[in-house]
Structure 1
Amino acid sequence: MTEREPARGPEQRKQDVLDRLEKDEDVWVATASADGVPCLVPLSFVWDRGTLLLATRRTNPTAVNVTPSGQVRLTLGHTRDVVLIEGEAQIVEGADLPAASGDAFAEKLRWDLRGRAAWVYLRITPYTVKAWREENELAGRDLMLDGTWLV
């Protein structure tokens, strides 16, 4: 029988999410094409000014898929420690990226794409954040709704 940790309170869950957003380097990104074909890829990211900043080639399905609606779903963690984020993506050209954002991306990920025409940045603004570990945390998993933290 597996011993389960006690459920975390909402404040601790939010802090754990913010810690992961600061420290983790990769996130699973789910998009869908205009005709509904799903695409799931891992991308590196930096937590920047309350948004996730990612990069991909402008011709990759992820960049192409976010153009019509901007909707995207992201996940951090494994199946026993999930952070699920739904948000709106905007494509940002390297030349239009604020210097501080580009510097933060390059410093954390040791990868600077500014000035590389084949690449674009995706700035994801979260509107829903959920986090849970086990069944005992399902009831309180909503941490952000409509872009506002609940705790």
Structure 2
Amino acid sequence: MTPQEPARSRTQRRQDTLDRLEHDVDCWVATAAADGEPCLVPLSFVWHENGVVVCTRRTNPTGANLVRDGRARITLGHTRDVVLIEGEGELLTDSSRTTAADAFAAKLTWDPRDEKGYVYLRIAPKTVQAWREVNEIAGRDLMRDGTWLD
């Protein structure tokens, strides 16, 4: 086992989190059906206009759950380098859909606009937490109520 690294400052964790949101391409998205049935799926994403934009079929459980309820939990990373986001999802339409789809296609080299039934959903973060080891658990909160903590 390697010695534990010193805990990062909140400023450094926020920068590391924003870097991951900009450069990572996949995340885990958790939602729940009306009856409480959980759904957890990996999806590609793009960080766009201060939200996580995912694309899925509207009829898939994740799409249906987000359109109905709006709540989602997203994770990036693995157990020793976690970013956990809780947010509110919205179905993108009109110009917001166009700009998000452009950003999605540019980052991921996949453009589902021509595929039937796909929708774009933006999850606006309400809380963001990040930690690597136990020494960062106490200071893991980076955002509350949609506002970055300083």
Residue 49 (structure 1) aligned with residue 49 (structure 2): yes
Tell me: CA distance 1:96–1:116, structure 2 relative to 1, closer, same or farther (3 Å).
farther
Residue 146 (structure 1) aligned with residue 142 (structure 2): no
Q: Aligned-pair distance for 1:115?
A: 4.4
- Paired AA for residue 35 in structure 2: D
Looking at structure 2, the residues matched to 103 and 92 of structure 1 have their Cα atoms a distance apart, in angstroms, of 13
Residue 39 (structure 1) aligned with residue 39 (structure 2): yes
Q: Aligned-pair distance for 1:138?
A: 0.4
Name the residue aligned to 1:77.
77
Q: Please, what is the CA RMSD of the aligned residues?
A: 1.3
SS of 2:74's equivalent in the other structure is: strand
Name the residue aligned to 2:108.
109
Q: Percent identity?
A: 62
TM-score, reference length from structure 2: 0.94
Q: Aligned-pair distance for 1:67?
A: 2.4
Contact 2:143–2:149, Cα closer than 8 Å, also in 1: yes
Gaps of 5+ in 2: none
Name the residue aligned to 2:62.
62
Q: Which residues in structure 2 correspond to 1:98-137 (within 5 Å)?
A: 98-137=97-136
Deviations 1:10-68 (A, max 9, x none): 00000000000000000100001001100000000000010111100111000111123
Tell me: CA distance 1:98–1:33, structure 2 relative to 1, closer, same or farther (3 Å).
closer
SS of 1:77's equivalent in the other structure is: strand
Q: Which residues in structure 2 correspond to 1:6-21 (within 5 Å)?
A: 6-21=6-21
Q: Which residues in structure 2 correspond to 1:22-37 (within 5 Å)?
A: 22-37=22-37
Aligned residues: 150
Gaps of 5+ in 1: none
Q: Aligned-pair distance for 1:98?
A: 4.4
Name the residue aligned to 1:86.
86
